[in-house]
Structure formats: C-alpha cells, structure tokens
C-alpha cells in the first residue's frame, strides 16, 4: 500500500524535473525491497492433518494464497502440518500462548472447556457438514455466552465435520443390537452416540485411530468418510455402516494479540477472504474426499451397509437421553442450555 503511494509521489515529482526523477528512482530501487521485506508478516498455522488431507490443498492453501494476493504480499501464512508445531490437544493453548498464530481446534479435544459449543457434538444433530457449519456460526453470533467461551482468541471461522459412520475390522454392524459390547476408537465427538448405542467409546485424535484399530485394541472406529482416505483407515477396516452418528464442532482461531497487531486494512482483507471462502470450502473438500473414501472401500471389496429409516430411528432414540442430560448440565452451570439446544435444532431444520 505504501509502495503505491510512493509511486504516485514519483509521478508528481516527474513533472518538476528529470533530476528529481533520477534521485527518487534511485531511492526507490534501494529502499522498496527493504521496506517490502520489513512489512511482510508471516503467520504460523498449526495443523494436525497430513499434507494429503483434502482440506489442506483444496481449502486452506487457496485461502492463504488469496489473503497473500489481496494484501499485496504483506500477509503470508506458513503451515505446520501433522502436529509438527503443536500437538493436537494443545492447539487451543498453543494459540493463546503464541506458540502458533493460528490453529484449528475441535470442541471434543477440550471436553467441558467450551460447554455451549459442544451442542454441535450431540448425537444425530448434525445432518451434514454444510448444515452443521452454518448452524454453529449462527449460534456463535446469537449467544453472548458462546462468544465468552472464545474470549481469549480471535475466531476466524466455525465448521462441523461430516457425520461419523461405523467402520469395523472383523464383524459387520447391521443393527443397533450389534453394537452391544463392542469397542470403538473415535474422535471425542462420537463418544455420546457410541455409548448411547451400547458400545464402549475410546476417544482420541484422528491421527491415533489407525494404530489403535490395527493393533486390535478396538473393534473398529467411528469416523467421517471425509477423513477416512487421508488417514488410511481402509487398511484396517473392511465393514462400514452409514448411520450418521452426528458430527463434531470445530473452530479455526488466531492469537488475539497477533490479530490486534494487524492494521485495520489487513484485518479487513482476512475477514473478507474468510467470509467468501469459509466454511463452505472446508465442507466441499471433505464431501468430495468422503465420496472418494467410499469408492476406495468398494474398490477394495469392502461391504457398506445402509440402514433403513426404521432401524435408524432406534439409533436416534438411543441418543434422546443425552440431550436432556446436556441441558441439565448446562443449566446447572448457569448457562442457557435449553435455549441453545432449541435454537440449534430449529436452525438445523431450516438448513437444506
């Protein structure tokens, strides 16, 4: 921006004599490269996903490139993938403490830390990644109590995963009765649905699921198809049941001091690019990846079961008690649990 202003000054001086032009041109040639370098801001973005995960090349890289383009190179975003900068569960504190400028955190990773935001983790609530992401965004905008939960950071956008499905290695799951006594590795967001269906949930970050299932510690995993291919789960499972257990809420956040240290112009650029691209770029990327994951499983000769509406009603009913307990827990803390849940259900019903 300053460079453009200096170029205008050069044009003005040009009208006053060739000597001035030569002098100013010499100054610009030596000064501008140094100025551009000093004004460039590099923001570190800590991620748990590997480079081949669709969200990285299909959503995050284009977002970062657009910010760099519109800021005339003043803002560059450097990604640290596969937990190389911050461990999965430390992502939120890593941003608060300035270890990473930006990171991505799942509500289930900090169980009880973001209580109202955890409404998106309730069983069978999220019908799609697109719907869940927009509902989560609207809830944040409406409830000051939810905004308070993220007061120590600058939220950039909200997103929910695709609904989790059941993937097993030895025995297929065709009904809720088949879940009794089974054990599943999963992101924490699927815990309540799994327990309601009679299974034992073993919560963990997605990068750890492969090894857990491979070693036979669990009977399988609950995972969204969007992450299935990237984390190579086809190698350790061969039966799949699409029951849509529900998704998990996530948010991308930035260090508050780093955000406040940006000029208003740069903040505006980041806001505009993010509003234009997120969270739909995230949702689109994982939806396409999910389709690839299902096709990969079919190509390998795996069995994919689609349950009937009648059977799914049994699964949904198993989660009803969880809703009331969640509301009770929230209200015991003086939080508007009923209002948030009712609004979430209403907003979800309005989503396509």
Residue written as token pair 């100013």:
24
Q: How far apart are CA 94 and CA 103, in angstroms?
A: 8
Is the predicted pLDDT of residue 14 greater than 60, yes or no? no
Mean pLDDT computed over 239-256: 96
Is the predicted pLDDT of residue 38 greater than 60, yes or no? no
The tally of CA atoms less than 13 A away on the side-chain side of residue 36 is 13
Could you tell me the CA-to-CA distances from 145 to 105, 149, 156, 344 in Å, in that order?
Answer: 19, 7, 18, 14
pLDDT for residue 292: 93
Give, in degrees to the nearest 5, the angle at Cα 139 between 257 and 49: 60
- For the chain, the structural domain boundaries read 1-32, 41-161+249-287, 165-247+291-350
| 165-247+291-350: CATH topology | D-Maltodextrin-Binding Protein; domain 2 (3.40.190)
- State pLDDT tens for residues 325-340: 999 999 999 999 999 9
Q: How far apart are CA 205 and CA 61, in angstroms?
A: 23
* Mean of pLDDT over the chain: 90
Could you tell me the CA-to-CA distances from 121 to 43, 93, 118, 125, 301 in Å, in that order?
Answer: 30, 21, 5, 8, 32
CB-based contacts of 287: which residues, under 8 Å, 6+ apart?
Answer: 129, 130, 162, 226
Q: pLDDT class for 16, splitting at 50, 70, 90?
A: low
Mean pLDDT computed over 314-320: 93
More confident position, 351 or 7: 351
The two counts, helices (H) then strands (E), for the chain are 16, 11
What's the predicted TM-score (pTM) here?
0.84
165-247+291-350 and 41-161+249-287 share a CATH fold: yes
Provide the percentage of residues in the chain whose pLDDT is more than 90: 81
Is the predicted pLDDT of residue 74 greater than 70, yes or no? yes
| 41-161+249-287: CATH topology | D-Maltodextrin-Binding Protein; domain 2 (3.40.190)
Mean pLDDT computed over 295-310: 96
The least confident of 29-43, 192-206, 286-300 is 29-43
| Phi (first) and psi of residue 299, to 5 degrees | -65, -30
Could you tell me the CA-to-CA distances from 166 to 65, 103, 182, 215, 307 in Å, in that order?
Answer: 36, 28, 11, 18, 11
pLDDT for residue 2: 46
- State pLDDT tens for residues 82-138: 999 999 899 999 999 999 999 999 998 888 999 999 999 999 999 999 999 999 999
pLDDT for residue 45: 98
Cα of 318 vs its chain's centroid, Å: 27
Provide the percentage of residues in the chain whose pLDDT is more than 70: 89
Pairing verdict, β 183-186 and 239-242 = unpaired
Nearest to 125 by CA among 71, 94, 161: 161
pLDDT for residue 189: 79
- Angle between the N-to-C axes of helices 280-299 and 129-142, in degrees from 0 to 180, rounded to the nearest 10: 150
Determine contact, residues 249/30, Cβ cutoff 8 Å.
Answer: no
pLDDT for residue 17: 55
pLDDT for residue 33: 43
More confident position, 307 or 9: 307
Number of CB atoms found within 10 A of residue 148's CB? 11
């Amino acid at each position: 921006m300053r460079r453009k202003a200096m170029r205008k000054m050069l044009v003005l001086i040009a009208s006053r004599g060739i000597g001035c032009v030569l002098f100013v041109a010499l100054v610009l040639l030596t000064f501008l490269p140094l100025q551009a370098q000093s004004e460039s801001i590099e923001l570190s973005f800590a991620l748990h996903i590997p480079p081949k995960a669709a969200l990285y090349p299909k959503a995050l890289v284009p977002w970062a490139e657009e910010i760099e383009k519109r800021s005339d190179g003043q803002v560059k975003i450097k990604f640290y993938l596969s937990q190389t900068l911050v461990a999965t569960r430390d992502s939120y504190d890593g941003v608060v403490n300035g270890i990473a400028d930006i990171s991505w955190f799942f509500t289930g990773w900090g169980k009880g830390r973001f209580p109202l935001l955890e409404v998106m983790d309730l069983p069978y609530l999220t019908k799609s990644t697109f719907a869940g992401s927009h509902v989560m965004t609207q809830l944040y905008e409406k409830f000051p109590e939810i905004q308070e939960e993220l007061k120590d950071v600058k939220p950039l956008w909200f997103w929910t995963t695709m609904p989790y499905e059941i993937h097993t290695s030895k025995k297929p799951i065709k009904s809720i009765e088949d879940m009794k006594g089974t054990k599943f590795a999963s992101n924490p967001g699927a815990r309540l649905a799994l327990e309601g269906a009679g299974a034992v949930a073993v919560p963990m970050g997605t990068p750890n699921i492969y090894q857990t299932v491979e070693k036979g510690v669990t009977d399988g995993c609950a995972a969204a198809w969007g992450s299935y291919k990237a984390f190579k789960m086809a190698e350790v499972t061969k039966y799949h049941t699409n029951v849509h257990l529900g998704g998990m809420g996530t948010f991308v956040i930035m260090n508050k001091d780093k955000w406040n240290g940006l000029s208003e112009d740069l903040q505006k650029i980041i806001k505009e690019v993010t509003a234009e691209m997120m969270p739909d770029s995230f949702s689109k990327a994982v939806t396409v990846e999910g389709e690839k994951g299902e096709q990969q499983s079919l190509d390998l000769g795996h069995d994919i079961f689609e349950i009937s509406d009648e059977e799914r009603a049994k699964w949904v009913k198993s989660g009803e008690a969880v809703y009331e307990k969640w509301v009770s827990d929230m209200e015991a803390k003086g939080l508007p649990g009923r209002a948030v849940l009712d609004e979430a259900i209403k907003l979800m019903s309005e989503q396509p």
